Amino acid sequence: MNSLAECTPAAVITGGTKGLGRAFAEVFAAQGFDICVCARTQADLDAMEADWATRFPGRRLYIFAADLSKKSDVLHFAAFVSGLWTQVDVLINNAGLFMPGAISEEREGTLETLMEVNLYSAYHLTRALLPLMQPHRRGHIFNLCSIASIMAYPNGGSYTITKFAMLGFSKVLREEMKPFGLKVTALLPGATWSDSWLGADFPTERLMQADDVARMVWAAYSLSDSAVVEELLIRPQLGDL
**Residues labelled catalytic:** 159
What are the distances in angstroms from CA 140 to CA 3, 91, 108? Answer: 22, 6, 36
Contact 33, 6 (CB under 8 A): no
Q: If DSSP codes are grouped into helix, strand and coil, which group holds residue 86?
A: coil
CA dihedral of residues 119, 123, 124, 128 (deg, nearest 10): 150
What are the distances in angstroms from CA 78 to CA 91, 111, 224? Answer: 11, 25, 28
Q: If DSSP codes are grouped into helix, strand and coil, which group holds residue 10?
A: strand
Residues 6+ apart with CB under 8 A from 28: 11, 13, 35, 90, 218
